[in-house]
Structure 1
Amino acid sequence: MIDIYQKAGKIVKEVRELAVNEVHEGMKVLTLVNLIESEIKKRGALPAFPCNISINEVTAHYTSPKGDSSILKEGDLVKIDLGAHVEGFIADSAISVMIGSGEGPYQSGDKTYTPEKQLKMIETANSALEVAINNIRPGSQLGEIGAAVEEYINSQGLLPVANLTGHSMSRWILHSGLSIPNVKENNKHELEEGDVLAIEPFVTDGVGIVGDMKDTFIFRFLRDRPLRLVEARKLLNIIKTDYKNLPFAQRWLEESSNIRKLNLAMRQLISSRAIYPYHVLREKSGARVAQAEHTVIVESDGCTVITE
């Protein structure tokens, strides 16, 4: 099993590095998403979830819909979050990059960002990730890991995003029960050897809270439900068969499914709670956010990072 995790982790590392080298001003977000997902497949894995490209104050859960015309602009602070699975064993990683090398300043709401400020946010997220990883071993309490991350980020004059966490993973399940906080919590749960964790601090100069936007482009199977539409029943069967419990994009269904009235079927699946919609998340004050993430496996003397 560890060999399969390491294979998934190696693929994620390679594709993440390729994406960083390819991303540029004027690039369509959809082009970047398609590149990342296709490169995962070329290397013998499948996407564990739709590639997330979240820009500036948009913090998570944005993946391009079909026909997305969004373009990366000079000064954008871009979070690239990707995952791959091999036979259901998942590796998950994220990196933040700034588009271009201009002088700025760049505006987000009432805040002004220089390149230096954004690079500090990126560096703080990367270092906070290292702090968390250095605290992971059997017996480590989750609340203590969060406290170490929060203390480091605060020392840099920034805030962690309090209501976003890392997560444990298991076969075919991206979020398998444990939440790995980025702030101090009274959480005495102790890590155990063999735990597989996605560690992902988010860093901002805003209020450190995210809220839902109205848009949803990513979904996950929840349960079988009685459905009126034949197309909805067919679609739910496709989702269960192709993606099991892993998140998927409606874009994928539009590319591969021959379901007529797909939008109507999706609406019925959502309203009946057969599938779960992941709302795009935005920092509540409109401040920009940086993210870093690795997948680790807890071992007897610490942990192994499979995505670096």
Structure 2
Amino acid sequence: MAAIVDEDDISLPSDDEVEETQETQDEEVVTDLSNTEVVTKYLEASRITNLALESLIPHIVTGAKILDLIRIGEAIINKSLAKIYNKKVGGKVVSKGMAFPVCLSVNEKICNYTPLASEAPEEGLVAGDMVKIDLGCHIDGFISVAAHTVCVADSGASPELPGPSAGTVCAAAHNAMLVAAATIKAGNTNVQVTSALEKVCESYGVKCIANVRMHQMKHFVIDGPKEIALRQPNVDEGEERVETCTFEENEVYCVDVAMSTGEGKGREGTDRTTVYKRNVDQTYKLRMKASHYLLKAVTDNFPTMPFSLRMVEDERQAKMGVKECTDHNLLSAYPVFNERDGVFVAHFKCTVLLMPNGTKKVTGLDLPAYFTTDKTLDEENQKLLDEIREKEEKKRKKAAAKKKKKKAAGK
């Protein structure tokens, strides 16, 4: 089930105001959560992000092909976005689209796997495969992202986990996401979040993936200046330290948790990197025709958000031109990270808004019931989770009562 946001907790404009609000040209537009229109756009993007996850999961069954599933996810997002914000605001069309390409990383693959059409695997998924779904969209540059992990089964059947450790690492990663989301609140620091995650790992006997970072998100910026390490970096092994920062009201964060039953070290494998992002502050006079083609395609279609080379019309030109663009820092790469073969990996991600009355988790689904474990969480984090679930249950009941009342009034 998707994250629940109580409308009473967040002040929203009416539907007419959403479509007809005109931004004054001679005033600076407020792009943080103190602007109710901004909050509305985050919530709408989050609704579509959750819908894409929920709608895609039933298709992830034995025999399904990765590229077909990716295209289904993209179609859901694009069709949903096409239905809203179609009126011009301040004389301009509202920008909207993918904020992160749909990625499906299977088994030891951790993240960022979205193959080119010419290189997609022909074989379908098999029962017991662990699939990590990662996607996101934006409305007017206000970004919502999510990731979720499922186990593949025959259509209509319940999944059979490939081993007890699979349930443990998924429960650990999902609970860690919830703990992190609750700890990211105004006045707290990123050090507190990392400390809480380390306690979760210790309780479940798993490791956070060192390569993964959580990021602040800002207007048209998916990887903002403030970031959070999943674990204390090992500088002796070349891992970079993260600067200490304090969270503030009206900020937005991507809570990104990946864990494994192995060493927690993501390695680049043999899979081609297809996900990139334009470095808007970098320029260079390219020499190759293919590089010019790719950069123009990116500038026209994906000027600020991550994209897949698969989304560029001429795939051959894109493959030829990407090296020169990356060599000169015009594009940043999102490599496909892998753990060792036989290691179980889980990936969960949600978006949180730091509202004046507290942190609101607006994307992310519940942990599938088949991911079970005999491990228990430490007392402090378990208490925090119990409080989170109690609040969620109250909101569910309130939402159900409101829906029932509305239905009765309509008779």
Any gaps of 5 or more consecutive residues in structure 2?
A: 1-37, 82-95, 234-241, 365-411
SS in 2 for 1:64: coil
Any gaps of 5 or more consecutive residues in structure 1?
A: 105-112
Aligned residues of 1:74 and 1:99 also touching (Cα < 8 A): yes
| CA distances 1:25-77 after superposition (whole Å, capped 9, x unpaired) | 11000011101111000101521121111111110111121131252221111
- Deviation of the 1:151 alpha carbon: 0.3
| CA distances 1:61-104 after superposition (whole Å, capped 9, x unpaired) | 11121131252221111110110111211101000001114656
- Deviation of the 1:302 alpha carbon: 2.6
Q: Name 2:355's counterpart in structure 1.
A: 299
Aligned counterparts of 1:41 and 1:140: Cα–Cα separation in 2: 36
Q: Name 1:49's counterpart in structure 2.
A: 100
Q: Name 1:197's counterpart in structure 2.
A: 253
Aligned counterparts of 1:282 and 1:240: Cα–Cα separation in 2: 30
Amino acid at match of 1:282: N
Give yes or no for the alignment of 1:163 onto 2:240: no
Aligned counterparts of 2:97 and 2:160: Cα–Cα separation in 1: 39
Q: Name 1:27's counterpart in structure 2.
A: 64
Amino acid at match of 1:206: G
SS in 2 for 1:155: helix
| CA distances 1:139-190 after superposition (whole Å, capped 9, x unpaired) | 1110111110120122012222233121111122211122222225785411
CA root-mean-square deviation:
2.1
Aligned residues of 2:212 and 2:230 also touching (Cα < 8 A): yes
Q: Which moved more, 1:297-306 or 1:193-202?
A: 297-306
Aligned counterparts of 1:261 and 1:162: Cα–Cα separation in 2: 34
Q: Name 2:40's counterpart in structure 1.
A: 3
Aligned partner of 2:227 among 179, 184, 192: 179
Q: Between the two proteins, what is the percent identity of the paired residues?
A: 25
SS in 1 for 2:128: coil
Aligned counterparts of 2:243 and 2:328: Cα–Cα separation in 1: 34
SS in 1 for 2:125: coil
Aligned counterparts of 1:55 and 1:119: Cα–Cα separation in 2: 16
- Deviation of the 1:303 alpha carbon: 0.6
Residue pairs, 1:205-244, within 5 angstroms: 205-214=261-270, 215-222=272-279, 223-244=282-303
- Deviation of the 1:285 alpha carbon: 6.9
Q: Name 2:121's counterpart in structure 1.
A: 69
Residue pairs, 1:122-161, within 5 angstroms: 122-161=170-209
Aligned residues of 1:164 and 1:202 also touching (Cα < 8 A): yes
- Deviation of the 1:297 alpha carbon: 0.9
Structure 1 residues 165 and 24: CA distance shift in structure 2, 3 A: same
SS in 1 for 2:188: coil
Aligned residues of 2:165 and 2:344 also touching (Cα < 8 A): no
Aligned residues of 2:309 and 2:318 also touching (Cα < 8 A): no
SS in 2 for 1:117: helix
Aligned residues of 1:198 and 1:293 also touching (Cα < 8 A): yes
Aligned partner of 1:89 among 110, 128, 142: 142
Structure 1 residues 287 and 87: CA distance shift in structure 2, 3 A: same
Amino acid at match of 1:64: P
SS in 2 for 1:207: coil
- Deviation of the 1:229 alpha carbon: 2.4
- From the two aligned structures, give the one with the greater strand fraction: 1
Structure 1 residues 102 and 48: CA distance shift in structure 2, 3 A: closer
Structure 1 residues 103 and 13: CA distance shift in structure 2, 3 A: closer
| CA distances 1:236-286 after superposition (whole Å, capped 9, x unpaired) | 122112111211111111xx34x8744322333233332222221112576
Structure 1 residues 233 and 307: CA distance shift in structure 2, 3 A: same
SS in 2 for 1:293: strand
Structure 1 residues 260 and 147: CA distance shift in structure 2, 3 A: closer
Aligned counterparts of 1:2 and 1:102: Cα–Cα separation in 2: 37
> Number of residues paired by the alignment?
296
TM-score by length of 1: 0.89
Q: Which moved more, 1:294-303 or 1:83-92?
A: 294-303
Aligned residues of 1:77 and 1:96 also touching (Cα < 8 A): yes
- Deviation of the 1:132 alpha carbon: 1.0
Q: Which moved more, 1:2-11 or 1:216-225?
A: 216-225
Structure 1 residues 24 and 170: CA distance shift in structure 2, 3 A: same
SS in 1 for 2:45: helix
Aligned counterparts of 2:45 and 2:190: Cα–Cα separation in 1: 25
Give yes or no for the alignment of 1:281 onto 2:337: yes
